[in-house]
Structure 1
Amino acid sequence: MRKNSKSIPVNAMANEFGVGISIEKIAFKDLYELARPTSSTFEEGKQSHRHDGHSFFLLESGTVEIDIDFQNYTITAPSVTYVHPDQVHHTIASENVRVTSWAITNENLNPEYLKLLEDITPAKPLMLDASTFEVMLEAVSLCLKFAERKSDKLYHSLLKDSCNALVALVASQYLELAKSTDKFSRFEIVTKGFRELLEQNYTAIKRPAAYAQKLNISTPYLNECVKNATGYSVSHHIQQRVILEAKRLLYHSNRSVKEIAAALGYDDYPYFSRLFTKVTGMSALAFRNKNLD
């Protein structure tokens, strides 16, 4: 649901305890159940938003339908969903849900885990086998207990370490599905480096040659690697990343198309308009109007 705002709403989920970390367990029959006075997370979740930290949802029972960056997922228990702070999402529907959610900011994350999360983004919801689900339930239970012990001298350390352990459990499940680094081809290693640079620089750098220079390789070789690993050119990936952010802003804010173009690094507004139409098959205004509530 788009809000009348110049920017995408950010829910301060990770600041619940004032330490950049939050965790809660809640249960509800459906999305519109009102008997949840202690939880704002899922009430706010009905509106499109980002979070101020890395967010995780351990679905213990029930079904949830969620939209993450214009991708619709129907999630059943037992499963875990990871949402990066950049990703815009909202809950569409739910039924007989019991879920534990936790969030943690970059500053509180183990740097190794932060790197892993950046690598797996965007991540799809992940079904869990019975043994892994039981381990996560035990870890969640312990973290919830630590969250209640606010008088402990090392309260923040206990909360931080237990939450990082939960993050590690989730990240390890995603890594199980991926290749180990030592099995990556040279093409895949170069492509991974390019994607990391793209995420950091997509508003400022639009030329494949500039990314090749940062990677200390030639532009043709960068294109060869990326095309071999993904099936698409470097320019395609740059355009797709820019257009994803444009879609987010068109749908979730009331910035003008010209303002959005400028925010994404395009001084030439007509060029940006043509690019959006080329990539999506419709104009930016048509996309916004199509998705009006």
Structure 2
Amino acid sequence: MDEMIRIDSVDVYNKLFGFETRHPLITVVDLSEATRWPLRTKFAYGVYALFLKDARCGDIKYGRKSYDYRDGTIVCFAPGQVVEVEMAPDTRPAGYGLLFHPDLIRGTALGQEIRNYSFFSYETNEALHLSDEERQTIRDTLQKVEQELDHAIDKHSRRLITANVGLLLDYCMRFYDRQFITRSEVNSDILTRFERLLDAYFDTDMQRQEGLPSVKYFADKVFLSSNYFGDVIRKLTGMTASEHIQNKVIDRVKEQLLSSDKTASQIAYELGFQYPQHLSRMFKRITGLTPNEFRQQS
């Protein structure tokens, strides 16, 4: 494996692949026009990157897992992510890329909303698979960004560029929503496994050693990123994964309150709470009653 390459600016990326830098904070590239490319490299991204792949020409790994991508898919990376790319022999990249530095959107509406585009933190088996029509929509939007990059920079440039980048990301959100629906059978299996894992966590008393379970714990168990896992659960149920965990905890508390003489503090420690008052606050927020009020009322 070659030394890790840090992509801290769009200029670093452009020089690496032989592209012209037209704007210091953003670039749109046609990967088929690259004049050079490493066959096997690790990239540490300091910029946002979105790639529309026209052909599978190798493997993209995040951590120890490979992206589920094929012709006509989108993969995205955010600053701070490390990605391993291994090109297949006698192939060359094909498709389009958009890379932009966080400074481009700092202080803009897009900068305030960028965290809502959770697909930048998706990991494996989570690439966005596009229809031909969707792919053309993405390509058309990329061309709008390119047109602005070809235009002389003026006082409108930044607003128009960020607006078109935001439009592109909104289309990706729409297409991901469609993909959640078309993969409903697979996603329903994820929900079923989540519910089983959640029951098993408390049935085996793991909370006594590990404390309350996290969303990441269950995401890791089903081999998904926390963001993608959370989005699947929310799309299927209308509730976040954290809300599911909290509801399971509340159900366990109610069961203990009604079937034993244990105090609320005892129940809290048994369920993995570090402090009993944390349980009381959660219980009151969700049920409208304190644990003792619930026991007396029932």
- Give the TM-score normalised by the residue count of structure 2: 0.51
| 2:98 is the alignment partner of 1:102 | yes
Matches within 5 A, 1:8-87: 9-14=5-10, 20-27=25-32, 36=35, 42-43=37-38, 46-73=40-67, 75-87=69-81
Instruction: Name stretches of at least 5 consecutive residues in structure 1 with no aligned partner.
Output: 29-34, 194-207, 222-293
| RMSD over aligned Cα atoms | 3.9
Q: Structure 1 CA distance, aligned partners of 2:154 and 2:170?
A: 24
> Which of 145, 152, 155 does residue 153 from structure 1 map onto?
155
Mapped to 2, the partners of 1:146 and 1:167 lie a distance apart of: 17
Q: Distance in 1 between matches of 2:152 and 2:274?
A: 49
Q: Distance in 2 between matches of 1:130 and 1:116?
A: 23
Report the Cα distance in structure 1 between the residues aligned to 2:144 and 2:167, rounded to whole angstroms: 11
Residue deviations 1:12-57, cap 9 Å, x none? 24466665433222216xxxxxx716xxxx54x8421221122110
Alignment match, 1:269? none
1:217 is aligned to 2:285: no
Q: How far has the Cα of 1:186 moved from its partner?
A: 4.9
Shift of 1:183: 5.2
Distance in 2 of aligned mates of 1:177 and 1:23: 25
Could you list the runs of 5+ residues in structure 2 that have no partner in the other structure?
12-20, 181-231, 247-271, 287-298
Q: Which of 243, 255, 263 is residue 190 of structure 1 equivalent to?
A: 243
SS at match of 1:97: coil
1:117 is matched with 118
Per the alignment, residue 284 of structure 1 pairs with none
1:163 aligned partner: 165
Q: Distance in 1 between matches of 2:237 and 2:168?
A: 27
Identity of matched residues, %: 11
Give 1:119 shift: 8.2
Amino acid across the alignment from 2:168: L
Q: Deviations over 1:51-106 (max 9, x none)?
A: 11221101134533211112123632211111232321121014343221112344
**1:91 is aligned to 2:85:** yes
Task: Name the structure with the higher helix share.
Answer: 2
Give secondary structure in 1 for the equivalent of 2:32.
strand
Q: 1:127 aligns with which of 88, 113, 129?
A: 129
| 8 Å CA contact 1:146, 1:158 repeated in 2 | yes
**CA apart distance, 1:136:** 0.9
Tell me the number of residue pairs that the alignment of Structure 1 and Structure 2 aligns.
190
2:81, 2:5 → 1: CA distance?
Answer: 11
Q: Give, as a single letter, the amino acid of the residue that structure 2 aligns with 1:36.
A: T
Partner in structure 2 of residue 286 of structure 1: none
Which structure has greater strand proportion? 1
Counterparts of 1:137-148 in structure 2, within 5 Å, are 137-148=139-150
- Relative contact order higher in (CA < 8 Å, ≥ 6 apart): 1
